[in-house]
Amino acid sequence: MQLPRLGIVVPCFNEEQVLRATGARLLALLGGLIEKNEISKDSFIYFVDDGSADATWSVLRELHQADGRAKALKLSRNFGHQNALLAGLISIKDQVDCAVTLDADLQHNEQAIASFIEKYKGGAEIVFGVRNDRATDPYLKKVGSRMFYRLMRGLGVKILADSPDYRLVSTKALNALADYREVNLFLRGVFLDIGFKTAIVPFDVRERFAGKSQYSFGRMATFALDGITAFSVVPLRLVAIAGALIVLMSSFLALYALIVAIRGIEVPGWVSTVLPIYALGGFQILTLGVVAEYVGRIYTETKARPRFIKEEELP
C-alpha cells in the first residue's frame, strides 16, 4: 500500500510566542512518522496566518527557511478561525491524501496524529479527535462548553461533544467540503453532515505552554451563533410557537374581560395593562432580533464575498 501524504494545517492568529516550539514539535512528529513508514516523505505542515498583528508571519518565514516542510499561507486580514482552517484545507487538498487540523498552541496532543493515521488506513474518511476530559480548562470555560453542546443538540444541530477542530480529513472528504459554498461555514457541523465513514480518537488536553488563548468568550458566543444559524431553524420555530401561545393567551384574557364587563365588575387597570405591554414589547423585540439574525446571514450569503483572500504563500 502506498504511504499517505499527510498535510498538517495549523491556523495561527497572534501566535508568535508558541510557533517556534510548535514548529519544532510538529516537524519532529513528521520525522518520526516517516521513519516508521506511516506516512510519505512528502508530508508537510501548512501554517495559515489569519491576519496576525504580531510577528507571526516573520516566525513562519524563519521556519520555512530552516525546513521546507514547514509551508505557510498569509491571509490579507483576519477572516476568523473557521475560514482560516478552510483556507488551509482547500489550498492543500490536491497535494495530500489526508490532512489533519489542530491549533497552534498544541494543547491538543499532537501525538494522537499517529492514531488518526491508523484509523484512516482502516478505512475512515474523517477521524474526529475527542477530548478525554477538560481538566486543564478554567471552571467557567468548562461550564460554557457544556452549555454550548447541550444548546446545540437541543436546537437540532449535528455536533460531536468535546470534539474541537482537531481531526483528520481524507482527500475524498476535502473534495466534498469544497462543494459547501456558504460564507458562514461551521466546520464541526459540515464534517458530520458529509456522511462518509468516520472514526473517533480520544486525546488528552495539555496546558498552553506559552502565550494566551485568542479564543475569547465573545468569539465563543459568535461561534455558537454561527453553528445554530447554519444548521438549525429551531429558533424561528420557537418564535412562531411562542407567538401562537401569546395569541391564545390574549384570546382567554379578552374573553375574561368581556365576562367581567358583562357582570359590571370594575377591573383595576394599571398593572394588568402595563405588564402585558412590557412583556409583549420585549417579546416583539426578541422576535425581531432572531429573525434579523437569519436575514443577516441570508444577506451575507447572497453577496457571495470570498471567504478568505490569500496575500502571500510559502510553498
Question: 81-85, 102-106, 169-173, 243-247 — which is least confidently predicted?
Answer: 243-247
**How sure is the predictor about 124, in pLDDT bands with cuts at 50, 70 and 90?**
very high
Is 234 a residue whose pLDDT tops 80? Answer: no
Architecture of domain 6-214+306-314: Alpha-Beta Complex (3.90)
Nearest Cα to 285, choosing from 239, 247, 234, 217?
239
**How sure is the predictor about 7, in pLDDT bands with cuts at 50, 70 and 90?**
very high
What pLDDT does residue 70 have?
97
Per-domain residue ranges of the chain:
6-214+306-314, 234-303
CA 17 to chain CA centroid, Å, is 24
- The residues with which 12 forms a beta bridge, in sequence order, are 49
**How sure is the predictor about 212, in pLDDT bands with cuts at 50, 70 and 90?**
low
Q: What is the pLDDT of residues 176-206, one digit of tens each?
A: 999 998 887 888 888 988 989 999 999 988 7
Helix 217-231 × helix 139-154 angle, to 10°: 10
What pLDDT does residue 149 have?
74
Alpha-carbon distances of 80 from 267, 281, 291, rounded to whole Å: 57, 35, 24
Q: What is the pLDDT of residues 71-89, one digit of tens each?
A: 999 999 999 899 999 999 9
Mean of per-residue pLDDT scores for the chain: 84
